[in-house]
Amino acid sequence: MGTALIYDEEMTKYKLLWVDPACKIETPERLTVSYEALVRNALAERCISVPVREATNSEILLVHSEEYLEAVKKTPYMTLEDLKEFTLQYGDVYFHPNIYHCAKLAAGSALQLVDCVMTERVRNGMALVRPPGHHSQHSAANGFCVFNNVAIATRYAKQKYGVKRVLIVDWDIHHGQGVQYCFEDDPSVLYFSWHRYEHQTFWPQLRESDYDSVGKEKGAGFNINVPWNQVGMESSDYLSVFCHVLLPVAYEFCPDLVLVCAGFDSAIGDPEGKMCATPEIFAHLTHLLMNLAGGKLCVVLEGGYNLTSLAQSVCQTVQTLLGDPLPRLANLSGPCRSALESLQCVRSAHRQYWSCLKHAASLPPADISTKRIKLAEEEAKTEVGEEEKSTEEKVWPEPPKRFSPPVRCASVLPDDVTRPDGCKRLGADQDVNPLTASKLKDDDCDTLSRVITLVEKMEQNEICSGLALVCDVTVAMTQVVQHLTPDPVNRVLIVCVGNGKVPSHITRDGKTLVVQINSEETEDQNSKYYIPVFLKKGCSDTSGFMHAVFGLILPLGYEYDPNLVLLVRMPDSGVCDAVWQQLTGLLQSFAKGHTLVLMQENEKAFVGPTTSVLLGDPAPPLENRQAPNTEDLNVVERLRDRLQVNWNLLQTTSECTG
């Protein structure tokens, strides 16, 4: 299934008609540079173009009041003076004779996207729209927004398709208060937003944007606000929040549909956000959401005011929706102190609502809060009349080309195992490839030599990922590592699922990082590069396993930044299909998707499900949402405490930083 792209140049046909410094950044060029970049990078042509449509009155009334809609309906006929007058009743927004038409198209685009995802005409998609929506409210326009596109789409999906649980991820740098107001008492809609806040001094300066607004009444726990109290946040800060807050909760919530308020003013260079995360981060944020809801992901443009980083970020997002390998994120430094403080506050505020957070630390002591430091700085500044901060132009490298290897997935299988049709899908040359069709009766060394060849072709970027059935995964794993180690830049992340002895020499000199999830307490080898995760209930405990994936494996993987991932399924691991597929999907975040899966010969039943995920299909949703059992949670938390001195992305509290 493909990726939808919804765009129409009609939505570029309104603009600011008078002087208003607060609104001049919201321009038609935002849409044209984004769409042109998709065309220039040959991404638009790979999408399924879906036409826009106007949202109907009843669809708009799913969120907005009749009086508001009636008022907006009059704007096409207003004089310039009337438009200015009409605008004054709202904040930080402007009207134009054609904005009502465009606002209906923007909302209608989001509905079109929901339709083609819910009817499975496409797997996922992006709507490039303006005016944005997440600030608009029941009876008010606000923050460049007229109708709340994503809120309308959410209500529409529930009404028309009976969707039970919707996750809304708002990665725009502003708080989508309009969305929060819409769903704060609704437990069927989980709203997550991070936003520049600076202790309520940044627009829209709302008390209810802070981390302690967790939702109301039945909706308590289903509204997650992550305030950024400093500018300059980087990819590490964003990934920490995804790994330690959003993903664990999102998987526990188990949504049927995911909508993204995709504002790119959270990217480097943006005049509003003043953050430092490069556009590649959106490739990863998108990917990390793609295994939820069976891949049903609708991305709707919100903000983004630096035309360069906006266009690059849109391309990174669409390219990931299309299933292309992700770019590596270089030298992630770990979250800054202010981000850690926000992280700790949010986790603490939501501890009582989500079992994955029940072990979260309590609120940081007020005295170390960056708030006191910040307010002290404010006083200092006013005293000495600090000169205007230089608004230095941010520069960053153009994101690297994300090229897809000719073969997406190759497999080394015994004769009696039929090659999954998925591999065949990758072109006829695959059949003549010695790695797969082999008429010889292969014995073990032949298999291993083919596995090594497979790895070499991955290194040469001829093959993206691979899967091999071998007679002994430990031997195969060791052979692969020995083959690779000489090369100085090689770093291999090895994830071993299940019990079994991992040869200790394999973790020598940091060229490999081994994380083993098992149910046997191994002697406590206190090595930085061998991390045994002992789960009392073993790999069959979905919640405990996924807690280890988000709390340990993902942060470690991002910080280690390997150029190859070995996913090893130890004999009799007991891990269930869906969890195995989720892990396979999430590990493609690393090494540009170069994942080699090693399994025992007798596990042929898992070849198909594993291959489908390596080929880019979403992993099926994890149905169960029971709490991880306490001991397993304890294990992961204790491990994180012990390891975070070496691995910064494991941190979730601000106390630990000296």
In the complex, minimum distance from the CB of residue 206 to ligand SS9, in angstroms, rounded to a whole number? 13
Q: Which stretch binds Zn ion (CB under 5 A): 93-101, 122-130, 200-208, 299-307?
A: 299-307
**What residue spans of 396-500 are helical by DSSP H?**
421-424, 429-432, 444-459, 473-484
Least distance between ligand SS9 and beta carbon 170 (Å): 10
Q: Which of the 8 DSSP states describes residue 275?
A: B
Instruction: Specify the residue, 130 or 402, whose C-beta has the smaller distance to ligand SS9.
Output: 130
Total of residues contacting Zn ion (CB under 5 A): 5
Question: Would you state the structure tokens that stand for residue 460, as one six-digit string?
Answer: 């040469």
Is 121 in contact with 47 (CB distance < 8 Å)? no
Helix segments in 326-472, DSSP class H: 337-349, 370-384, 421-424, 429-432, 444-459
Span from 297-305, 338-346, 460-468, 560-568 in contact with Zn ion (CB under 5 A)? 297-305
- Min separation Cβ 106 and Zn ion, Å: 15
> Tokens at residue 149, please?
């596109």
Nearer to ligand SS9, 94 or 550 (CB): 94
Site membership for ligand SS9, residue 131 (CB under 6 A): no
Which residues are paired to 469 by β-bridges? 599
- Among 341, 330, 231, 334, smallest CA distance to 275 is for 231
If contact means CB under 5 to 8 A according to the sort of partner, which of Zn ion, ligand SS9, none does residue 132 touch? ligand SS9
Vertex 400 angle, CA 395 and 403, to 5°: 160
Torsion of CA 20, 269, 278, 237, to 10 degrees: -80
**Smallest distance from Zn ion to CB 303, Å:** 3
In 3D, which of 366, 174, 352, 353 has the Cα closest to residue 272? 174
* Minimum CB distance to Zn ion smaller for 27 or for 540: 27
What are the phi and psi torsion angles at 273 (to 5°)?
-80, -40
The span from the CA of 289 to the CA of 171, in Å, is 12
Contact with ligand SS9 (CB under 6 A) among 131, 143, 323, 585: 143
Task: Tell me the sheet residues that pair with 515.
Answer: 495, 531
Of the pair 263, 585, the CB lying nearest ligand SS9 is at 263
Residues 232-291 binding ligand SS9 (CB under 6 A) are 263, 265, 272
Q: How far is residue 118's CA from residue 293's CA, in Å, rounded to a whole number?
A: 11
Sequence length of the chain is: 658
Comparison of 265 and 541: residue with beta carbon closer to Zn ion: 265
Q: Is residue 198 a contact residue for ligand SS9 (CB under 6 A)?
A: no
Residue nearest to ligand SS9 (CB): 303
From residue 485, give the alpha-carbon distance in Å to each of 62, 90, 450, 482, 505.
59, 62, 18, 5, 12
Of ligand SS9, Zn ion, none, which one sits near residue 92, judging by CB under 5 to 8 A according to partner kind? ligand SS9
Q: Which does 373 bind (CB under 5 to 8 A by kind): Zn ion, ligand SS9, none?
A: none
Size of the site for ligand SS9 (CB under 6 A): 14
Taking CA atoms, 461 is separated from 304, 391, 627, in Å, by: 33, 41, 41
User: In this chain, which of 59, 198, 265, 270 binds Zn ion, going by CB under 5 A?
Assistant: 265
Assess 270 for contact with Zn ion (CB under 5 A): no
54, 59, 92, 559: residue in contact with ligand SS9 (rule CB under 6 A): 92
Residue 144 interacts, among ligand SS9, Zn ion, none and using kind-specific CB cut-offs from 5 to 8 Å, with ligand SS9
Query: 221 or 303: whose CB is closer to ligand SS9?
Result: 303
Which residue among 64, 96, 123, 174 contacts Zn ion (CB under 5 A)? Answer: 174
In the set 203, 242, 529, 560, which binds ligand SS9 (CB under 6 A)? 203
Rounded Cα distance between 26 and 415, Å, is 60
Closer to ligand SS9 by CB, 135 or 592: give it: 135
- Please give the torsion angle defined by the CA atoms of residues 5, 282, 246 and 520, in that order, rounded to the nearest 10 degrees: 110
In the complex, least distance from residue 385 CB atom to ligand SS9, rounded to whole angstroms = 21
| Residue 350 contact among ligand SS9, Zn ion, none, beta carbon within 5 to 8 Å by kind | none
Over its C-alpha atoms, the chain yields an Rg (Å, rounded) of 25
Under the binding rule (CB under 5 A), the answer on residue 172 touching Zn ion is yes
- Least Å distance between CB 643 and ligand SS9? 37
22 binds, among ligand SS9, Zn ion, none (CB under 5 to 8 A by kind): ligand SS9
Q: What's the longest Cα–Cα distance across the chain?
A: 84
Binding pattern for the stretch 7-36 against ligand SS9, x by CB under 6 A and - elsewhere: ---------------x--------------
Name the nearest CA neighbour of 399 among 328, 463, 464.
Answer: 328
Angle at 512 between CA 343 and CA 434, to 5 degrees: 120
In angstroms, what is the minimal distance from the CB of 90 to Zn ion?
16
Q: In angstroms, rounded to a whole number, what is the distance separating the alpha carbons of residues 211 and 111?
A: 30
Q: Which is nearer to ligand SS9, 270 or 617 (CB)?
A: 270
| 14, 35, 94, 144: residue in contact with ligand SS9 (rule CB under 6 A) | 144
Q: Is 172 a binder of ligand SS9 (CB under 6 A)?
A: yes
Evaluate the CA torsion angle 648, 650, 653, 655 in order and state its sign. negative
For 47, 183, 340, 358, 651, the CA distances from 211, given in Å and listed in that order, are 37, 16, 13, 16, 18
Q: Indicate the residue among 134 and 359 with the shorter CB distance to Zn ion.
A: 134
What is residue 456's DSSP assignment?
Answer: H
Judged by beta carbon, residue 179 or residue 615, the one nearer ligand SS9 is 179
In the bound complex, what is the minimum distance in angstroms from residue 142's beta carbon to ligand SS9? 8
Active site residues: 135
Assigned token pair, 302: 């919100």
Residue from 96, 104, 155, 174 that binds ligand SS9 (CB under 6 A)? 174
DSSP, collapsed to helix, strand or coil, labels residue 282 as helix
Tokens of 616: 């880019």
Which chain residues interact with Zn ion by CB under 5 A?
172, 174, 263, 265, 303
Which chain residues interact with ligand SS9 by CB under 6 A?
22, 92, 132, 135, 143-144, 172, 174, 203, 263, 265, 272, 302-303
